[in-house]
Structure 1
């Protein structure tokens, strides 16, 4: 008779919390449709036990891969814990993805089961899937994707051991930054992928904290944001720069003497203007963090000046080593600028089933982030820009080639070039398209097709038609800088 799978690190932490503090809050829901409900740590463990039996009855077992469509559901964390207790891997699916992206990820991951938390939440076996799947690292808890394009899918294996170690250090860093252990973490965002999941849910048990699922931060909810923080005793919150902008614009002031949570930001560049306005209005530092999925989560936990105000610097690395490498490949000593490279125990070993991407990402033991970073004489780091062709939009990494490939799949599109945009200090992207001469398609048709295939979040904000061939540096390679210049020309014609 086969032995039961070992309880791996992430599952063990949840079960330990259920043993140590069974009646303490684990997840508190202030978001519809579960507003007013809560789960204790014992509830999470017990519900996961029931779900584990259900999933086992479908044939799921150790080594299974389950395409898990995420949602802010009462059984979301119990379901994830059930998969981990079975020693199965959750393939993370954003419900906002279009059909094309979802299909690519499911097929590439080798998922043999599917579980949709936006629906009945019943595990189903996927016929014909998983038979030719490449091996995953031992103890892979989750498989997340930074790109779902058919040309270069980047699947990141989040192993139990690496993610648990990261969460321990993250909890310690925030205790240090806050001056005390944050007891409640407020989740402001829609559950969409590994970023929101790890920053809010996975983090909590390692800090002996509860997750409070606040109303999703939008212009309509931002006005009462601080009231919700106060009501639910939130002591730590992660705000994407777009959310900071909304809070700055419409939120009512904090109550004098009310809860003063540790406010973190990141996942996209935050401007000094946004940061200063936040502190001016609400009297709280907005700590500028930096992390990458390839290192499991956050690496740098910001920097405060002598007065205690947060700066746009990202600080110094926790747990991992960092170095800068200049354009000639030389390591930068002391103060200077170069590509940020990282090394340490929580970096992924390899992208899943993508040897080319793995080889391109590593320089020996050092992972190339593609981010250009400055380091001052005190060893404090600051993000200067990005080398990779990627846009961070609303907390999501959107690769330009991903959008271009989707556009080229639209009937009538001959050429396509995605262009990074910066609007009101927030990143977005546009798309230049050249259509076949005999095509009846319009830019409206292309835009609608991209919103359907990629999802609204990953689709470009605007599609512009050009009639001349797109600029290239070679037979196949787009001249990115010239494409950006073309965008400027095309979108300012007639503007005075």
Structure 2
């Protein structure tokens, strides 16, 4: 089923104008709420008034088409600022608050930002040539003012977001996303599912990238649905938070595989008044796990699939032939998909191969990185690096990854990114990151470095924490003083290192 056009925002408008549309139609309905937090709720009317006032306050300093960095935050002020920048025609560079200074500096230098917004609690160091500004907070001041910031004609081809995706060539890699592209992705999602009964979304994750911002906020705004944020949610209080989701009037929730596994261990709750729509992402959840989830809670769960290069999810799951949950990521909606075998030939009908995708939401390539672009883009098609299977009915299933990534705590960690920065660490000349064991929180992230002089693992862990952020800390780190194993093409053999780790034969202390 598809979402009725009457529930959708007008097609030709920018993301900030979507907010303005719903502020006119439903000014008193809640747009943002914060469960168990001192952060006050915002109606659509209040949100729009603050966006206008913030845009007026910033327009002397922010030029149209300028790239402005914003450190992600879970607050009303963050969402107001991002929309105000869009209203001024600026592009927003999303900065993860957990990144270390080395990653932030590389990204800002790559994009060419002159201004960075962050709240007072965020420890972002001074960067030469970049103005550091506090995120404006207009709490308590919702006086209506004349709106003289709205453009005469919406420019949907302006840049909305600069989003990062670390990969295998250079770091960081960044894609440029226009308002038209990101809204095309949301349109495909609304065409794949009926969001007609969704009035509010439950957001269990902090905003740290386009992923959560897109699925829990921007997508919901396409249909005028509000978002309730659970800022204190953690795996430690999952039972309390999930109970609030079950008894609340929510129509949508975003889940990740480790969370699904934990929810399946909690006492079942089945309020019969409505069925919650749940998207599972980061990695496919097994069909048995999804069916167990649906049997315990009043929801319908779907595996979704997307990449930053595609702005959002582009597969949105489907039901199995018996009507139950399916492991499939679904059929193509609003996109073209094909499978290519190892010889570079198209796979006809049912079969397995690398998944290639084309569509109106596909970005043009990596910013200022032609080598990486040519490696992943092929005449309007994106080589995803993921292996997929297509069945006789045209349903797709993910079967593996060509890309070297680790999925931990619901997030994707790119191994080459960690290696890239570790080679800058003291005494380190080479580094390899690899997947170890399967842990309750996801994949075990392991690292081995080649050092030219004695250095303790604790020193390197401290360097990672300081320069890359605590979320990049590996579960296990090894220090070698000999060369890392490589194949005949000169590539490090991750599989060899992974086997040595699993067999306990790395011959150095393990640090967890």
TM over 0.5: yes
- Alpha carbons of structure 1 residues 428 and 160: separation in structure 2 relative to 1, 3 Å: farther
**Distance in structure 2 (CA, Å) of the matches to 1:8 and 1:395:** 32
**Distance in structure 1 (CA, Å) of the matches to 2:232 and 2:379:** 42
**Structure 2 counterparts to residues 209-228 of structure 1, below 5 A:** 209-228=225-244
Q: What's the counterpart of residue 235 of structure 1?
A: 251
The structural deviation recorded for 1:429 is: 1.7
* CA-to-aligned-CA distance 1:328-381 (integer Å, 9 cap, x gap): 000000010000000111100121111111111112221100000001111110
Q: What's the counterpart of residue 61 of structure 1?
A: 63
Does the 8 Å contact 1:184/1:234 carry over to 2?
Answer: yes
The structural deviation recorded for 1:433 is: 1.9
- Alpha carbons of structure 1 residues 31 and 246: separation in structure 2 relative to 1, 3 Å: farther
Q: What's the counterpart of residue 364 of structure 2?
A: 349
Q: What's the counterpart of residue 6 of structure 2?
A: none
Between 277-286 and 106-115, report the one with greater CA deviation. Answer: 277-286
Q: Aligned to 1:245, which of 261, 273, 296?
A: 261
The structural deviation recorded for 1:490 is: 3.9
Q: In angstroms, what is the RMSD of aligned CA positions?
A: 2.7
Q: What's the counterpart of residue 140 of structure 2?
A: none
The structural deviation recorded for 1:145 is: 0.5
TM-score under structure 1 normalisation? 0.88
The structural deviation recorded for 1:149 is: 9.5
Q: Aligned to 1:485, which of 499, 504, 507?
A: 499
3-state SS, counterpart of residue 385 of structure 2: strand
* 5+ long unaligned stretches in structure 2: 1-11, 132-155
The structural deviation recorded for 1:118 is: 5.5
- Alpha carbons of structure 1 residues 491 and 46: separation in structure 2 relative to 1, 3 Å: farther
* CA-to-aligned-CA distance 1:90-146 (integer Å, 9 cap, x gap): 10001011111111111111111111146499xx9976359xxxxxx9511110111
**Distance in structure 2 (CA, Å) of the matches to 1:49 and 1:28:** 20
The structural deviation recorded for 1:269 is: 3.3
Q: What's the counterpart of residue 28 of structure 1?
A: 33
Q: What's the counterpart of residue 5 of structure 2?
A: none
- Alpha carbons of structure 1 residues 9 and 27: separation in structure 2 relative to 1, 3 Å: same
**Structure 2 counterparts to residues 274-285 of structure 1, below 5 A:** 274-282=289-297, 284-285=299-300
Residue 156 of structure 2 corresponds to residue 174 of structure 1: no
Does the 8 Å contact 1:168/1:207 carry over to 2?
Answer: no
Does the 8 Å contact 2:407/2:443 carry over to 1?
Answer: yes
Does the 8 Å contact 2:301/2:325 carry over to 1?
Answer: yes
* CA-to-aligned-CA distance 1:2-45 (integer Å, 9 cap, x gap): xxxxx9521221111111111111112115342xx211111111
Q: What's the counterpart of residue 89 of structure 2?
A: 87
**Distance in structure 2 (CA, Å) of the matches to 1:468 and 1:293:** 37
3-state SS, counterpart of residue 486 of structure 1: helix
Residue 189 of structure 2 corresponds to residue 201 of structure 1: no
Between 353-362 and 215-224, report the one with greater CA deviation. Answer: 215-224
Does the 8 Å contact 1:230/1:258 carry over to 2?
Answer: no
**Distance in structure 2 (CA, Å) of the matches to 1:242 and 1:66:** 34
Does the 8 Å contact 2:270/2:296 carry over to 1?
Answer: no
- Alpha carbons of structure 1 residues 417 and 148: separation in structure 2 relative to 1, 3 Å: closer
* CA-to-aligned-CA distance 1:169-207 (integer Å, 9 cap, x gap): 2233231xx6x4311111110111000000011111212
The structural deviation recorded for 1:150 is: 9.6
**Distance in structure 1 (CA, Å) of the matches to 2:120 and 2:279:** 28
**Distance in structure 1 (CA, Å) of the matches to 2:350 and 2:206:** 39
Q: Aligned to 1:156, which of 166, 169, 175?
A: 175
**Distance in structure 1 (CA, Å) of the matches to 2:427 and 2:468:** 18
* 5+ long unaligned stretches in structure 1: 1-6, 131-136
Does the 8 Å contact 1:447/1:462 carry over to 2?
Answer: no
TM-score under structure 2 normalisation? 0.86
**Distance in structure 2 (CA, Å) of the matches to 1:290 and 1:344:** 14
Aligned length: 471
Does the 8 Å contact 1:110/1:129 carry over to 2?
Answer: no
